[in-house]
Amino acid sequence: MILLYEGPIRAMLYNGPSGLLDWIMDTVLILPAIVVGLSFHEFGHAKVAQLCGDNTPVYQGRVTLDPRAHIDPFGLISLVFIHFGWGKPVMINPLNFRERRRDSILVGLAGVTMNLIVAVAAGFILKILTTAASGLMTTSVGTAIGYVIVEIVIINISLMLFNLLPVPPLDGFGVITDIFNLYNTRFYSFVRQYSFMILMFMILLNIPSMLISRPMVAIVNFILTRLCGVSNWWYFL
């Protein structure tokens, strides 16, 4: 119900049927960005775990970019409705790592690092298209393509920042736990036990948006404007 309110219901209440239609069209256009972001994020976890000596993700078929291996239904719905979400967690066995603590941190950071790489790559693709096919990019088809690419940047940076929040099942909690060795502490047990409730409470109070929105806009603008040289990227939104 929270997600429904944050998505189509709010669009309908604020702008009527036309607002709902706009929300549906925007959702259809950002689906490719969501699928790309989730697939690369979880693939990053799985591949780095494999490189660190743990073949558990290999046995479970997670070392792939096939979205079907990585989609978590609720995380996907959350991404569609509020642009914050997660994929199916990659199962690992830290006992197989060569250096347990170091490799656990590397695996924890692999997903968000992959999101950053994808965002930068998408930015350069947009730069190439706006330079080499500028005529196409001014058409309705080109605008739609540009919109999807910009959304790939936005969604991947949103995934990166959201997953860095120190709340399970998000990556940030695992990284913080490994860095400060919080296993077997009351804090760890409490947060793990009530993780879903804590996450839903944060979403209900719009805390992720308040924490992430400004850094997300700043990072997206830096990637597209400064790094990739697409000064008019907002034109495609």
Kindly report, residue by residue over 61-120, the tens digit of the pLDDT.
999 999 999 998 888 887 777 767 778 989 999 999 999 999 999 999 999 999 999 999
Q: What is the pLDDT of residue 118?
A: 98
Residue with tokens 């399970």: 168
| Sign, CA torsion 12/15/20/26 | negative
Residue 137: phi, psi to the nearest 5? -70, -10
Q: What is the pLDDT of residue 1?
A: 57
Could you tell me the CA-to-CA distances from 105 to 14, 97, 108, 172, 185 in Å, in that order? 43, 11, 5, 10, 18
Instruction: Output DSSP code: residue 62.
Output: -
Hey, where are the domains in the chain? 2-236
Q: What is the pLDDT of residue 4?
A: 56
In tens digits, what is the pLDDT along the chain, a chain of 237 residues?
Answer: 556 556 667 767 777 787 778 778 888 888 889 999 999 999 999 999 999 999 999 999 999 999 999 998 888 887 777 767 778 989 999 999 999 999 999 999 999 999 999 999 999 999 999 999 988 898 999 999 999 999 999 999 999 999 999 888 889 999 999 998 888 888 888 888 888 888 878 877 888 888 999 999 999 999 999 999 998 899 998
Report whether 110 contacts 44 (CB < 8 A): yes
Q: What is the pLDDT of residue 2?
A: 58
Q: What is the pLDDT of residue 12?
A: 73
Q: What is the pLDDT of residue 114?
A: 98
Query: Whole-structure pTM over 0.75, yes or no?
Result: yes
